[in-house]
């Protein structure tokens, strides 16, 4: 009999990031807005945050996205692609999931403010 999964990502899972690197999950913290995952790559360890409502990207990762080091996409063992964000390496391991949740709250506020600005811009330019 196999054990039933309790989370979409669990310790021991193998993940593939958007540039094709494979990692093994070594820790999972459940937050208010997402999962914080510690992972081991062949070249070292990493940490990534998976906001519950962030969709995957259609293209490769984006650097310097709304105060995050990057925004990307990860493929889970079941083939599902989910969106992710990561902090700059020097601060990634010094904080817990609550800090990532607070940063995600600020990100949502920034996106909403940006969308409000974008919606108030004219859709075409006229010279006269």
What tens digit of pLDDT does each residue of 1-44 get? Answer: 566 777 889 999 999 999 999 999 999 999 999 999 999 999 88
Classify residue 122 by its DSSP letter: -
For the cut 50, the answer to whether the pLDDT of residue 124 exceeds it is no
Q: Give the chain's end-to-end CA distance (angstroms, integer).
A: 74
**Percentage of residues in the chain with pLDDT exceeding 70?**
85
pLDDT of residue 116: 64
Q: Measuring CA to CA, which residue among 125, 43, 32, 45 is closest to residue 86?
A: 45
Count, residues in the chain: 128
Model pTM score? 0.83
Helix, strand or coil, per DSSP, at residue 98: helix
Domain layout of the chain by residue ranges = 14-120
Bridge partners of 41, per DSSP, are: 23, 44
Mean pLDDT of the chain, nearest integer: 85
């Amino acid at each position: 009999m196999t054990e039933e999964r309790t989370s979409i990502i669990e310790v021991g899972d193998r993940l593939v990031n958007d540039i094709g690197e494979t990692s093994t999950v070594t820790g999972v913290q459940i937050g208010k807005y997402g999962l914080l995952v510690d992972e081991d790559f062949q070249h070292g360890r990493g940490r990534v945050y998976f906001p519950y409502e962030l969709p995957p990207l259609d293209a490769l990762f984006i650097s310097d996205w709304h105060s995050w080091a990057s925004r990307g996409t990860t493929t889970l063992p079941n083939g599902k692609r989910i969106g992710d964000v990561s902090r700059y390496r020097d601060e990634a391991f010094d904080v817990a999931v609550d800090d990532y949740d607070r940063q995600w709250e600020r990100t949502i506020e920034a996106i909403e403010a940006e969308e409000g600005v974008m919606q108030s811009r004219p859709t075409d330019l006229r010279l006269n």
